[in-house]
Amino acid sequence: MNRSSKKNSDSRQSKRSTHGRGEVRRERLFGLTFIAVATAGMAIFIWLNYLSVRSLGDSPSPLAVLGKQAWQRAGCVECHTIFGNGGYNAPDLTRVTDRRSDKEITDWLTTGPVIRPTTKTAHVAVAPADAESILEFLKYIATVPNMWDGQPGKPKGAGR
């Protein structure tokens, strides 16, 4: 080994010694901590997104979709509201399945009772199959997460 090469290797060694073992360990620890925190943060972010998407509820069943179509055909929205939107002539139906049984609703829909004896107006009557699907649609509506608490019963001053 000649002199100059020895000097080179010396200087390399002295360089390493200023960057001590403790420092290397600290840097490595910092790196690992950073990766751990970033990974945990990402996992929490994905988890929260999953929770918020899940809280949107399920999509409607095929029968509930048929019910929506029957609801449109019969023009139910001309008198009734859902989530506060629609006609203001009759009770809001957002949560009607919470206050009426399945049979009460389907009977109501198939028999089309007289709703205003003074004017002899009859409630819309639909075929039994439509009543079933509309019931399914109304049940689905009641499960959609929303802050609307509905108007139980006939709204005041409406439908004179």
> Interface with ligand HEC by CB under 6 A: which residues?
74-76, 78-80, 89-91, 93, 96, 100, 105, 108-109, 115, 123-124, 126, 134, 154, 159
The nearer residue to ligand HEC, 65 or 124, going by C-beta atoms, is 124
Beta strands in 63-145 (DSSP E): 81-82, 85-86, 114-116, 121-122
Q: CA-CA-CA-CA torsion for 153, 128, 114, 155, nearest 10 degrees?
A: 20
**Residues whose CB is less than 8 angstroms from the CB of residue 96 and which lie 6 or more positions away in sequence, other chains included:** 105, 138, 142
The nearer residue to ligand HEC, 123 or 146, going by C-beta atoms, is 123
**Residues whose CB is less than 8 angstroms from the CB of residue 58 and which lie 6 or more positions away in sequence, other chains included:** 143
The nearer residue to ligand HEC, 61 or 123, going by C-beta atoms, is 123
Q: Closest separation between CB of residue 69 and ligand HEC, Å?
A: 11
Q: Closest separation between CB of residue 40 and ligand HEC, Å?
A: 50
